[in-house]
Chain A
Amino acid sequence: MPPKAFPWHRENVEVPMAGPGRAVQALFLGAFVAGCMGDIGSAGSKLDDSKSPNDNPGDPSTNPPIDPGITAACGGPPPIGAAPIRRLSREEYWSTLRDLFTGIDVGRPPLAPDQETNGFENRAKDLFATSQNVSDFNAAAADVVARVLPNLAKILPCTAKDATCAGQFIDKFGLRAFRRPLATDEKTRYLDFFRTQMAAIDFTTAIGLVIEGMLQSPNFLYRPEFGTGSPTGDGRLRVTGYEMASRLSYFLWGTMPDDKLLTTAATGLTTDDQVLVEAERMASDPRARTQMINFHRQWLAFDHINEVYASEGRKDARLYPAYSDGMVSAMREEATRFTGRAMFDGARTLKELLTSRDTFVNATLADVYGVPRPTTWAPVTLPANQRGGILTQAAFLASHAHAVAGSPPLRAVFVMNRLLCFPPLSPPPDADTSPPTQAPGSAARTNRQLFEERVKAGGTCIGCHNLIDPIGFTFENYDAIGKFRTMDNGIPVDAKGALSGTDVDGPVSNGIELSSKLADSQQAQSCMTNFWFEYAVGRDRTEAEACKVTALTKTLKDAGGDVRRLQVALVRSPDFLYRKAN
């Protein structure tokens, strides 16, 4: 067979790329301004004083004021988005089980991973039922009950092994499992089922089977909402106290409401003030710390280092003999610890996330950073000339790298997609995405030079790589496991690059400076805000809702970038306080 030719470029890319400047602008600028940035800067021009923030057609007593900033930015009552029913994500399911059976270790029963959008696992549209997860939920319920029954006394409200005690259990446990009191017909059904099973088997087994049933109920697995009262003229409904309790707890904690929240929900959480009081309490609770890390895990792809390790294995063994399970775990652990400190214990700003050098290392990771080895995990301040923020940390650098060297395009595209909200960038199907290597016998080259040669030889590649590579090259001071280096293949590293198509365009001398420019970028703030908005409402933001993100970004800025203030502002947003009437 004759060898085949594998062209590196996709022919249809040539068409839009015919005029590179124009095409690039169309591909990125237009798309990201519309797709991510919303309508920044136009808030003032859209402000219409004839409509007050309280100008809602409904009854003012049941319609608390929406964040006036949002109303202003949207030029009137903001459009309310859809509120599709949300199934618990795998992570939410596990956390909910943990809190539902306080004091009993029910573990994390195996569940297939959920689909993701931009790394996020909580989009309603991704959380549909598959035969796999219906069967998983069934098996998981049995797994959980097998762990609960030997400890049943811990969750039973009474000791008599009779139907009266079972009735009390159904009320008490049901309230927490369904995150609202059971309706009369529901209680009757569970109690009848209990009686049948107690007669056939025994009390304990019958309780276990009731639990298995509740864990497969839609009122546990999903978060149904119907709202209360009559819709406003523009089709908004106030949600009930219990519905709000779940909204708050799954947004701020990633798990079910605690007892205090459920108690409050019984009589309140129906006014703006009550909701905000709870939001403030919850945002500073330790569970919010876990959830803050969880948000960043999804946004900044903390799992990626494990996924890459699982699929690609170790790095080049000659260059990185120490890269192992233990090192991968340490890198991942650092991302978690750093985020907890920067985004909960510390300043809680994008700037902190992208510039702080205060992190944590264990002995394995200390070797990567060239700092003294501690005996166990310990705080450390990394050298100022080498590190600054999460993009200069090992987990990001090593997971966006190949076996031998870092990947400037992978690193850059991540920054562009996740921090600047550029539209998705994928290489054309036939692009050569393998790491370029030096031809045997040729003169020594740096990783950067090899990538530059590949792109120059690749015809149309340069259209996109002109934007991508100058961002990626700024990380050339870091090798395939994120170790700092000043020499590459015997040649001094050139980590100079540039940002273009952003609000902080211009030359950049290295990854530290890139990170610090991103920290000051309004576009990055807006991009992060957009992800927070979508996380809070569990769906994609629509074009019509760009004004909401504009206003929220301004709120964030006015609060000095404190993300906790953004969380509370999101609670005050129309889509959180209300739901669209069906």
Chain B
Amino acid sequence: MTLRLDRRQLLNAMGLGAGTLFLPSLMSDRQAHAAGAAKRLLIYYTSHGPPYWDWSMRPAGSGDDMTQDWEFSLDTLPQSAWSKILAPLYPLRKKVLVLDGLANTAAFASTPTNNHNAGRSTIWTGAEVSMDGNEAGGTGGGISVDQVIAEQVAIAGRKKTLYCNVRANSPLFQGKNQTIGGLSDGARLFDSISGFVGTTAAPSGPTNLDKIRKARASLPDLVRPEYDALIKRVGSEDKRKLQGHVDLMNSLQKELQAQAAPIGAVSGPNGGACTLGSKPPGATSILNTVDGQLKLLVAALSCDITRVAVQAVGQLSGSEFGAVSGADVHQDIAHQASAPGSNASTMMAAYYTKHTEQFARLLSMMDAIPEGSGTMLDNTIVAWGTELANGPHDMYRIPFIIGGSGGGYFRTGRYLKYAETGPTPWRANYGPQTRRLGPAHNKLLVSMMQAMGLPNNSIGISAATANSKTGGGPVDMVGPLPRLR
């Protein structure tokens, strides 16, 4: 049998045929975001947490008082004064904000459960941990901030979000009990966006590949009547489920239509070529895999294929950060890192230094891409948050770092310590009930939304009550985080 379309051509039509194309820039999109709002968001999420004593910084005169707000300039901090874990950020010191003292108050306000579940369920949702979901240890109780923001800033026909996840228990949720999985494979990510770059229009008219892409983009039209027919007949619960599927299919269709355009739909930075590079090869280490994915995510963000991207990173293997091969990273290193100078703490600091190095590589990559009068990093918010505050499970002093000012929205180049004097919600139980907490990290999530131009003033839990040991009054969960601007 002679096929006019061979397997290779079909593979190409699936999106493997990436090219480069010069197109006029999408000025209207950019202008819409020009005035004091961040253009895009990139979330970097890592498992466990760093030892506080090797992460935090206390230069002379900064004060070591946990009960007061204070700050210092990172720009003038001598390189030698940087902490072991944060040192890799020294070259980027003008473009980062280090936030010391925020609490995962949403976790404290939830039914106490396994800290890992609580951490990943709350860190980007600010919502109460759901205990009636599919995981006995609890799961996300509400929509995560990336989804909220993407809903508002996504460009029709482009990717609403891009989400890569290498072995982390996913911290992203479409809604209560609805975990989003993420792509673990860089090649799949490449395939899902390469069509946006497109190929030049053949002088003789559309090729078979163009026609196949167009036909594929019409497949949702073919099957939608079947969904609609079912939705009319089923009960309310099933209706919701099927309607959810249709909604997702409809947004996928817009992406497919954009990719099916006979010429590429996107342009690169400053109206230049959009280049995705080559398909990332499979990598053996988690860090290498993530590096490959971050490169693609940055390319996709720079070409405006998406405005919201997330990279989640699971537990590193011992060999990736210098621990003995075969070490039980979770039990023997992370959990044991409870005292400064201990072997486990030293190893956990090495673990997290690898992440800071990767975060610095990410920021540098974005800072090397010119955009307008500055760089891509300047117009982006890169937010790094961790599953837990540290290896031994704490939920206070969650180490957040913001990279990029979001178009001048945040005042970067500073280390901000927040006073830990606030009350603890009634159900708080990750540690002594009398512990005073810094600001709820929900407020940072609000700041991120507002920096992206959203009017939202809260996310997840909007009201919590302190326990009697810390005064019994209301706990502030709403509004933006002070001092960032």
Residues of A within 8 A of B (CB): 1, 3-4, 6-7, 10-12, 82, 84-85, 87, 110, 112-113, 115-117, 123, 125-126, 128-135, 138-139, 142-143, 145-147, 149-150, 152-153, 185-186, 189-190, 193, 197, 200-202, 204-205, 208-209, 212-214, 216-219, 221-222, 224, 226, 310-317, 402-403, 424, 426-430, 432-435, 582
The distance in angstroms between the C-alpha atoms of A150 and B10, with both chains bound, is 11
Q: Known contacts being A6-B392, A7-B431, A11-B432, is A426 close to B248, with CB within 8 Å? A: no
The distance in angstroms between the C-alpha atoms of A435 and B332, with both chains bound, is 8
The distance in angstroms between the C-alpha atoms of A229 and B310, with both chains bound, is 50
Which of B182, B188, B223 is packed against the most chain A CB atoms within 10 Å?
B223
Select one of B7, B315, B331 contacting A146, CB under 8 A: B7
Distance in angstroms from B346 CB to nearest chain A CB is 14
Interface residues on B, range: 35 or more
| B219 and A216 form a contact (CB under 8 A) | yes
**B201 at interface by CB-CB < 8 Å:** no
A-B contact pairs, 7 of them (CB 8 A): A4-B52, A6-B338, A110-B185, A189-B225, A311-B314, A313-B328, A402-B328
| B113 and A429 form a contact (CB under 8 A) | yes
Select one of A10, A117, A132, A152 contacting B182, CB under 8 A: A132
Determine the chain A residues whose CB is within 8 A of the CB of B223 once the complex forms.
213-214, 216-218
| B326 and A129 form a contact (CB under 8 A) | no
| B329 and A312 form a contact (CB under 8 A) | yes
| A429 and B178 form a contact (CB under 8 A) | no
| A146 and B393 form a contact (CB under 8 A) | no
Q: Known contacts being A201-B211, A426-B113, A429-B115, is A146 close to B14, with CB within 8 Å? A: yes
| B252 and A132 form a contact (CB under 8 A) | no
Residue on B nearest A200 in the bound complex, by CB? B211
Residue on B nearest A212 in the bound complex, by CB? B219
Select one of B245, B331, B340 contacting A129, CB under 8 A: B245
The distance in angstroms between the C-alpha atoms of A432 and B233, with both chains bound, is 52
| B248 and A129 form a contact (CB under 8 A) | yes
Distance in angstroms from B468 CB to nearest chain A CB is 13
The distance in angstroms between the C-alpha atoms of A224 and B238, with both chains bound, is 10
Determine the chain A residues whose CB is within 8 A of the CB of B433 once the complex forms.
11
| A201 and B5 form a contact (CB under 8 A) | yes
| B134 and A85 form a contact (CB under 8 A) | no
| B192 and A139 form a contact (CB under 8 A) | yes
The distance in angstroms between the C-alpha atoms of A494 and B314, with both chains bound, is 38
Query: Within B166-188, which residues are at the interface with A (CB < 8 Å)?
Result: 167, 174, 178-183, 185, 188
Distance in angstroms from B382 CB to nearest chain A CB is 22
Distance in angstroms from B134 CB to nearest chain A CB is 4
The distance in angstroms between the C-alpha atoms of A113 and B182, with both chains bound, is 10
Q: Known contacts being A132-B181, A429-B115, is A149 close to B241, with CB within 8 Å? A: no
Select one of B219, B330, B340 contacting A311, CB under 8 A: B330
| B241 and A85 form a contact (CB under 8 A) | yes
Q: Known contacts being A132-B180, A435-B331, is A139 close to B244, with CB within 8 Å? A: no
| B248 and A134 form a contact (CB under 8 A) | yes
**B17 at interface by CB-CB < 8 Å:** no
Select one of A146, A147, A208, A218 contacting B230, CB under 8 A: A218
Determine the chain B residues whose CB is within 8 A of the CB of A435 once the complex forms.
328, 331-332
The distance in angstroms between the C-alpha atoms of A434 and B180, with both chains bound, is 29
**0/1 per residue, B190-215, Cβ < 8 Å to A?**
01100000000000000010011001
Select one of A218, A311, A426, A582 contacting B137, CB under 8 A: A426
Determine the chain A residues whose CB is within 8 A of the CB of B179 once the complex forms.
115, 130
Q: Known contacts being A145-B10, A204-B5, is A85 close to B430, with CB within 8 Å? A: no
The distance in angstroms between the C-alpha atoms of A226 and B234, with both chains bound, is 8
The distance in angstroms between the C-alpha atoms of A213 and B217, with both chains bound, is 10
| B212 and A224 form a contact (CB under 8 A) | no
